[in-house]
Amino acid sequence: MDRTYTIGVLFADKAESGLTHDFFAAILESFKRTIEARGYQMCFFNTNRDHPGRKTYLEQAQERKYDGVLIACIDFEEPEVVELMHSGIPTANIDEEVDGVISVKSDNIGGMKTLVDYLITMRHKRIAYITGEDCNVTRTRLKSFIETSRSAGISIPAEYIMQGKFRDINQAAYLTESLMRLPEPPSCIIYPDDYAAIGGLNILRARGMDIPGDISIAGYDGIDIMYRYEPRITTVVQNKKRLGMVAAERLLAWVEDPDYELENTIVIDTELQKGRSVARAFY
């Protein structure tokens, strides 16, 4: 079959941050560089549902004759997305496992475990976790957070786990304020991502609290903006460059070889980056 050397990218985060989304923008840039080095180009799906005469994702892919598809940061249970993934077009997902589709994801279990283990070595027992929206990534990290804590003999009160949103500074600030009003507030707060951690940092400072003298905080992702903040926030660094590169390499291998032996899930290691936002706890 003739190729168009075009890969469709389906990307639509709920916060509508688009390519200003630090984490996914870095992945897409790595993906783009990798496919371009092989002579392919990247083209985005139209995700505007208000557009007159809008076509479904599958119709767009077929009309534009995409050789393959990358899906990231979207509701994977949405019927149109499910239809696209099951269409037979070579497809790679970021951070979502689906049978018959390549999935490239960070080690969310290991990343959270490494972070919690570190906090425990710093003598923290009252650890709160503000999660992102309910999705596979959130559920995986939350499970690892609870299991790692329990393995160390630490019981996490229900009020220490609050569902927030990814990349939402205001929501993170509000939930941080709620945690600090508890009769026994946490000694450390984990945020769903580094961007949300900024909201926590701001509200804690507004309360006159010193970080990490009065309370410790930790983020997730390892985005570039965190290097501009003091104290440097402890975080789990996701290898965004490798996530994009591996997704591109595996997807093109499938595009160029119809008999490609599909490896359903590829897990990319994370790394704990110890900043200056976590201090030893004293009770």
- The pTM score is 0.92
* 131 within a domain of the structure (yes/no): yes
The SS3 call for residue 26 is helix
Same domain flag for 21 and 125 = no
Owning domain of residue 83: 6-105+239-268
Whether residues 87 and 201 share a domain: the answer is no
Domain tally, the chain: 2
Does 129 share its domain with 229? yes
- Kindly state whether residues 158 and 96 are assigned to the same domain: no
Bridge partners, residue 221, by sequence: 237
How many C-alpha atoms does 235 have within 13 Å on its Cβ side? Answer: 24
CA distance 158 to 245: 39
Q: Is residue 277 part of a domain?
A: no
Q: Which of 247, 256, 250, 192 is nearest to 219 (CA)?
A: 192
Q: In terms of domains, do 153 and 190 share one?
A: yes
Q: Are residues 24 and 98 in the same domain?
A: yes
Does 215 map to a domain? yes
Predicted confidence (pLDDT) per residue in 119-172, tens digit: 999 999 999 999 999 989 999 999 999 999 999 999 999 999 999 999 899 999
Other beta carbons within 10 Å of 163: 15
Share of the chain above pLDDT 70, in %: 96
Cβ atoms of residues 223 and 236 within 8 Å: no
Same domain for 225 and 117: yes
* 110/68 Cα distance (integer angstroms): 30
In a domain, 279, yes or no: no
Q: How confident is the model at residue 1 (pLDDT cuts 50, 70, 90)?
A: low
Alpha carbon dihedral 155, 213, 131, 172, in 10-degree steps, equals: 140
Q: Which of 9-18, 30-39, 152-161 has the lowest mean pLDDT?
A: 9-18
CA–CA separation, 181 and 206 (whole Å): 14
pLDDT of residue 73: 78
Q: Are 117 and 229 in a shared domain? A: yes
In a domain, 275, yes or no: no
Phi/psi for 3 (5° steps) reads -100, 155
Q: Is residue 222 a part of any domain in this protein?
A: yes
Mean pLDDT of the chain: 93
Residues 159 and 264 in one domain: no
- Per the domain annotation, does 276 fall within a domain? no
**Alpha carbons 280 and 121: distance in angstroms, whole number:** 8
CB burial class (10 A; 0-12, 13-18, 19+) of residue 193?
A: buried
Residues 192 and 134 in one domain: yes
* Range of 18-32, 89-103, 107-121 with top mean pLDDT: 107-121
Any idea what the CATH number is for the domain that residue 136 is in? Answer: 3.40.50.2300
Pairing label, strands 235-238, 270-273: antiparallel
Q: Could you report the per-residue pLDDT of 203-248, keeping only the tens digit for each?
A: 999 999 999 999 999 999 998 877 778 899 999 999 999 999 999 9
Rg of the chain's alpha carbons, rounded to an integer? 20
- Decide: 171 and 188 in contact? Cβ < 8 Å: no
23 lies in the same domain as 75? yes
220 close to 270: Cβ distance less than 8 angstroms: no
Amino acid identity, position 117: D
Distance CA 155, CA 147 (A): 10
Same domain, 49 and 75: yes
The string over 4-39, giving b where at least 16 C-beta atoms fall within 10 Å of a residue's C-beta and e elsewhere, is eebbbbbbbbeeebeeebbbbbbbbebbbebbeeee
Residue 26 lies in a domain: yes
Cα torsion 79, 82, 88, 92 to 10°: value is 140
